[in-house]
Amino acid sequence: MPTPLPSLPPLPTVTRLASVTVVRHGESEANVRYRRAVETGEVSVPEGRSEDTPLTGRGEEQAAALGRWLAAVEDGPELVVCSPYARARRTWEIAAGEYGERAAPPVVVEERVRDRENGVFALHSPPAWRAADPQEWARRERSEEWTYRPPGGESLADVALRVRGLLGDLDAVAAGRRVLVVAHDAVALAVAYVLEGLGAPVPDRPQVANASVSRWHNAGGRLVPGVWNSTGHL
């Protein structure tokens, strides 16, 4: 048996960012289809691209509630980094409209906070995926969630890699600023993992609610967690 390596606690990520807040987009039509398929076993796959999935009416209401909350908090965002996916861009568009006469913070659209890509199984619910390729579904079931990469797609570890690069770039170009990321559940999980520090354990994948808020604030050069998956503003 190999000798176990000595284990250190995670080495903190040092940053000059004042805070990072991650918001998942409001409820999308794909979210509704996914839940329905899991409940009913429906195996059909919609046409189109995941990137173009719109919000539902409920998702738009969630985005508006998010915007009212952001406009009211004293330490709201000074810079917004938004996923290029339609559901995230629409979430911020609606939220920004709730600032009223006040100017909403500037926004940059950044591909590194796009959703996790499922490759050939994009827009597939679990029943549809299982029906389309039982062998690949079985491989997925045998694999670790953090490292499983569907054909042509990404693992959660891949998402964390691009998020790590983005956070480093933000430290260089937005030092001292409060940053809001409008993105997806995989991105929220990746941010939490990266900010835990070098050598952090691989996280479980907790559910991140639509339009939820997760936030980290700077304490002594390290971004420490404040709230996770909060929906009180809704």
Please state whether the predicted TM-score (pTM) of the whole model is above 0.75.
yes
70 in Cβ contact with 106 (< 8 Å): no
Query: In the predicted model, is pLDDT for residue 206 greater than 80?
Result: no
User: What's the confidence (pLDDT) of residue 2?
Assistant: 66
Of the ranges 2-6, 28-32, 42-46, 118-122, which one carries the lowest mean pLDDT score? 2-6
Mean pLDDT of 23-39: 96
Characterize the bridge pairing of strands 19-24 and 213-219. antiparallel
User: What's the confidence (pLDDT) of residue 188?
Assistant: 97
H/E element, 180: strand 178-183
Query: In the predicted model, is pLDDT for residue 177 greater than 80?
Result: yes
User: What's the confidence (pLDDT) of residue 101?
Assistant: 86
| pLDDT 10s digits, 54-105 | 999 999 999 999 999 999 999 999 999 999 999 999 999 999 999 998 899 9
| pLDDT 10s digits, 112-130 | 999 999 999 999 999 999 9
Mean pLDDT of 153-171: 97
H/E element, 23: strand 19-24
Neighbour-count burial for 27-48, b at 16+ CB within 10 Å, e otherwise: bbebbebbeebeeeeeeebeee
* Percent of the chain topping pLDDT 90: 90
User: What's the confidence (pLDDT) of residue 12?
Assistant: 85
With CA atoms as reference, report the closest residue to 73 among 234, 230, 233. Answer: 233
